[in-house]
Amino acid sequence: MSHHIIEIQDLEFAYPDGTKALQQVSFRITHGESVALIGANGAGKSTILLHLNGCLFPTKGSARIGDVPITKSTLQSIRRTVGMVFQNPDDQLFMPTVYDDVAFGPLNLGFPLEEVQLKVMSALEQVGLAHVKNKSPYRLSEGQKRSIAIATVLSMNPDILVMDEPTSNLDPKSRRNLINLLQTFTHTKIIATHDLDMVLDICERTIILNNGRIVADGKTIELFQNADLLEQSHLEQPLRLNRLSSM
Amino acid sequence: MHMADALISPAVGGTMWAASATLIGYNAKKVQKNLDDRTAPLMGVLGAFIFAAQMINFSIPGTGSSGHLGGGMILAILLGPHAAFLTMASVLTIQALFFADGGLLALGCNIFNLGFFPCFIAYPFIYKTIAGNSPTKMRITIGSIFAAIIGLQFGSVAVVLQTVFSGISELPFVKFLFIMQPIHLAIGIVEGFATAAVILFVKNARPELLEPDSHVALQKKVSIKTVLAGIIGITILTAAVFSWFASTNPDGLEWSMFHTSGMEELETPKKDLYSSLSSIQEKTAILPDYGFKKEDSEATESVETWPGVDSGTSLSGLLGGLIIFLFIMGIGLGLKKKKKKAAS
Amino acid sequence: MAALESAFLNLGHIETLARKQSKIHQLDPRAKLLTTLIFIITVMSFNRYDLSGVIPFFLYPVMILIIGDLPLIYLVKRFVIVLPFILFIGILNPIIDQNIIMKIGSFSISGGWVSFFSILIRAVLTVFAALTLIATTGFHEICIAMEKIGIPNLFAAQLLFVYRYLFVLIDEASRMVRAKSLRSFSRKGNGLKEWSSIIGHLILRTVDRARRIHLAMLSRGFDGEIRLAHKYVFQLKDILYVLGWTSLFMLMRIFNFSILTGNILQKLMP
């Protein structure tokens, strides 16, 4: 298996009106790592994610996956390697049935119908939802929708999984199920999230973003002990690590 | 303005289907070619939007009744005529399939009446002409109103023609027309205001959504003069057609004119046109068969394209029909009972 | 908002019906689509005064109903909704056409009434045919069938998208309407300004949603063509289905079975 290393160098992104969303962003993520991207709303997490599969292109700097720079001409192969799961499952489940949604990716990649079937069933089994394949996405619970949204990406067999707020809006049980599921994945994972407790469970490395810049990049456990650092970035320590101060 | 299957003959329905299908094919190719692939999801969601929007009523001041949006004009303004037509067609198709409110045979008519006229006549010729590329508030409002009115007038005439040519409903052409047009004028004014209100809202919030699609919009450099000339031409044609019917159905026309005050102006030169039109009428013998009711009628001749002219109404037929009906119901019930037994 | 909720429930119910597994459900959707279209065209081809010739055609929807195990009550309900409109148009006939064309015993019946009932019967037939088609096939199968018959890919995909987001949009719309009504205490109804505000917001959210969907599509390799994941193979049973029904329809169209039956009956009577 070739190693797909994500390399972002001095990336800068500005909106058409000039406001800078990201500045001097650099990081390197190697095969199999699980990295959390945390920061306040508007810090730029989603913007970074959108650069990872070519939905956005930097105004300065570079982004590459392995040997391949992310450009307009390499998009198809980049998107085969990097699977992106967005925040709102309703925006990703746009086909009439679950099966159709999970099959969308492989069909676009050109696989014949029999192979598509295999990939779809395998992805659905991975998330434990093979039994809903003929249902309309509208009828699924929020947790099921999340899992199916992940399945729609898994069926393309990506090496890298990028996820934007995967646990938001989930009830505790569904959330726990999702965390357990993510723990079974051997893909490289990049997860933008507010759920710091989940980060402790899944991601050994964390990048903290503040106002479009990276202010910290290191071991999750170490960063999370630093309450001041978190607070400067408009964050808080996860509940688990909170010293219960006497009230 | 939706038509029901029950009023359309296969001939008319089929023709309109062919027209609509051709339009769908043509526009699908056009949109596909210029596909900014953003268009596909946008068309889809805006289609769903139209559905939802049609279910929200607004009250019409002064009348105590409520109305709702048709949507063709808004789609055309946001998507350009080609994508808007396809979107409208998709909404009507789903309505026909699920709400059984138009019927499948009439779908071709509906797509044409409610899609073609707003997107390819009203939008490019009226709205775009008045509103131009960077319209002011006033232009948007006036453009929307006139476009909506014209689009609906055309659609309404089309409905009348389709119904009458089908020969199933007994409504006489002129009377029907005189009922339909004023109603749709009112509807058009309301739709125009509603459209303008929404477009203005969007313009305030996100003006970039209203930018013209230079590569997809129809190339129309039409002057107001041309538009007016067109409208006058159509009026003359309509008057000529009216006079034709006036000559064969004088009582009917007087009746309608009497009942729709304010339309006294149609002083068609009956005498002169009559002779030329009646000779045309003789030559195009096909028309009389399609059920235009004549006062001086020969024996009422039912429309017949297939064998068996009177069979539909003979007593024998009715009795037999009753028996067959009961028979079918009996089979149905019997089978159902059998199924229940087998299941239990 | 009664319209919104009833639309909701109706679509959901039909989809549930379409998931059943009867013999009809298992037929190729193209076969069912074709047969229904031929049915509707044939029924509509009768002349306007026909009453008895169309009766035998009830066999088709009834058969589908039985074999497809569809609930009659529900279909009747759907039809009743369309009824007022048909009555409204049809009722003009008896008023306008007063020529007597039939006599039963001492009753004379005008052409207007005959054509009115003819319209009514044919409306029942065609609406039931359409309903049974969807209830045994499911909307998205019909779309795929249409695409395979020749409808442009873009249009079939468009139908699927609209259908998919119908509920979502109706949901959003009813939420906005409810929120607004909770804030307007004494004013009744929606004036144009409030209405256009709701609709305007709805459009903006729709456009934003479309952009997000587009990104999701791109991320899964979308290149402009919408590929649908189904392979249908026309089997012998499908061919027989279409040919069988079509032949029957043709026979029933050419020979008025009702009259035949009636004549036989009269011969049998002393």
CATH number reported for the structural domain that contains residue A47 in this entry? 3.40.50.300
Q: What is the pLDDT of residue C147?
A: 82
Contact C40, B105 (CB under 8 A): yes
pTM for the complete prediction? 0.75
**pLDDT tens, position by position, B86-114:** 999 999 888 877 665 556 777 888 898 88
Contact A121, A102 (CB under 8 A): no
Contact C27, C238 (CB under 8 A): yes
Does residue A222 register a pLDDT over 50? yes
Q: Dihedral (C-alpha) A157, A158, A159, A165: value to the nearest 10 degrees? A: -120
Does residue C44 register a pLDDT over 90? no
Residue B25: closest C-alpha in chain C: C152
The verdict on B195 and B236 lying in the same domain is: no
Residues of C in contact with B201 (CB under 8 A): 196-197, 199-200
B333 part of a folded domain: no
Mutate to test the interface with C, among A73, A99, A136, A164 (most CBs of C within 10 A): A136
Contact: B170, C253; criterion CB under 8 Å: no
Q: What is the pLDDT of residue C142?
A: 84
The verdict on B100 and B182 lying in the same domain is: yes
Chains with 3+ CB–CB pairs under 8 A to B are C
Who's near B107: CB < 8 A, 6+ residues apart?
B17, B20, B92, B93, B96
For C212, the closest of A79, A88, A138 (CB atoms) is A88
The verdict on B58 and B156 lying in the same domain is: yes
Contact: C161, B302; criterion CB under 8 Å: no
Provide the domain limits for residue A177. 6-91+158-237
For chain B, the average pLDDT equals 68
Residues of B in contact with C41 (CB under 8 A): 10, 13-14, 105
Residues of B in contact with C102 (CB under 8 A): 313, 315
The verdict on B159 and B190 lying in the same domain is: yes
The closest alpha carbon to C116, from C83, C81, C92, C85, belongs to C92
- The number of distinct structural domains making up chain B is 2
- Average pLDDT of span A26-42: 92
The verdict on B32 and B53 lying in the same domain is: yes
B163 part of a folded domain: yes
The verdict on B158 and B231 lying in the same domain is: no
The verdict on B19 and B128 lying in the same domain is: yes
**pLDDT grade for A119, boundaries at 50, 70 and 90:** very high
Pairing type for strands A160-164 and A188-192 reads: parallel
Any idea which of A215-219, B125-129, B303-307, C21-25 has the lowest mean pLDDT? B303-307
The verdict on B251 and B111 lying in the same domain is: no
Does residue A5 register a pLDDT over 60? yes
A85 part of a folded domain: yes
Does residue B304 register a pLDDT over 70? no
Does residue C187 register a pLDDT over 90? no
User: What whole-number distance in Å separates Cα of residue A100 and Cα of residue A105?
Assistant: 9
User: What whole-number distance in Å separates Cα of residue A127 and Cα of residue A154?
Assistant: 9
The verdict on B267 and B151 lying in the same domain is: no
Contact: A94, C163; criterion CB under 8 Å: no
In this predicted model, which residue has the larger pLDDT, B84 or C50? B84
Q: Nearest-CA distance from C111 to chain A in Å?
A: 48
Residue B300: closest C-alpha in chain C: C99
Q: B132 — alpha (psi -120 to 50), left (phi > 0) or beta?
A: left
Residue where a domain stops, chosen among B217, B235, B255: B217
Residues of C in contact with B51 (CB under 8 A): 7, 162, 166, 169-170
B182 part of a folded domain: yes
Does residue A123 register a pLDDT over 90? yes
**pLDDT tens, position by position, A189-215:** 999 999 999 999 999 999 999 999 999
**pLDDT grade for B294, boundaries at 50, 70 and 90:** very low
Which residue type does A149 have?
A
Provide the domain limits for residue B162. 5-217
Any idea which of A72-86, A163-177, C95-109 has the lowest mean pLDDT? C95-109
Contact: C162, B172; criterion CB under 8 Å: no
User: What whole-number distance in Å separates Cα of residue C245 and Cα of residue A80?
Assistant: 48
Burial A105-144 (b: 16+ CB within 10 A, else e): bbbbbebeeeebbebbeebbebbebbebbebbbbebeebb
- Average pLDDT of span B259-266: 35
Residues of C in contact with B10 (CB under 8 A): 41, 44-45
Chains with 3+ CB–CB pairs under 8 A to C are A, B
The verdict on B151 and B16 lying in the same domain is: yes
Domain spans, chain C? 1-151+230-259, 152-228
Contact: B302, C139; criterion CB under 8 Å: no
3-class secondary structure, B259:
helix
Q: What is the pLDDT of residue C180?
A: 78
List, in sequence order, the alpha helices (H) in chain B: 10-33, 39-54, 72-79, 81-99, 107-111, 128-131, 137-166, 173-205, 224-248, 250-259, 270-283, 315-343
| A–C CB contacts, 8 A cutoff, strictly below | 78
B335 part of a folded domain: no
A206 part of a folded domain: yes
Tell me if chain C has a CB within 8 Å of the CB of A153.
yes
B317 part of a folded domain: no
Number of C-beta neighbours around residue A172 at 10 A: 7
**pLDDT grade for A148, boundaries at 50, 70 and 90:** very high
- The number of distinct structural domains making up chain A is 1
**pLDDT tens, position by position, C56-78:** 888 898 888 888 888 888 778 77
The verdict on B66 and B133 lying in the same domain is: yes
Contact B324, C62 (CB under 8 A): no
Q: What is the pLDDT of residue B281?
A: 42
Structure tokens at A53: 């599969």
For chain C, the average pLDDT equals 80
